[in-house]
Amino acid sequence: MSVNTNDKNCLLDEKEFNNLKTNLEKEGMEKIQTMWKTNTLNEDSIKNVLNNGMKTFEEKTGRPMTYGEMRDLYG
């Protein structure tokens, strides 16, 4: 998914936006893997990973994550 760099609501350029998505996906996967290994993986812990990622996304971009972006990052 590409970002419209002319979008006045987005605070990042396309490279920064793609880096943000890559970092959020990597961080989310690492957290889930740790939860799996420590037997702490459950519905609430997964929701927390998603909510924290969406919060970070909004703080960095100045707008909420779309459904499509959420699916791209978290499956």
- Portion of the chain with pLDDT greater than 90, in percent: 79
Confidence at 37, pLDDT banded by 50, 70, 90: very high
Strands (E), the chain: none
Q: Whole-angstrom Cα distance, residue 54 to residue 24?
A: 9
Q: Report whether pLDDT(56) > 50.
A: yes
Query: Up-side HSE of residue 65: CA atoms within 13 Å toward CB?
Result: 24
Where are the domains positioned within the chain?
A: 14-74
pTM of the shown model? 0.79
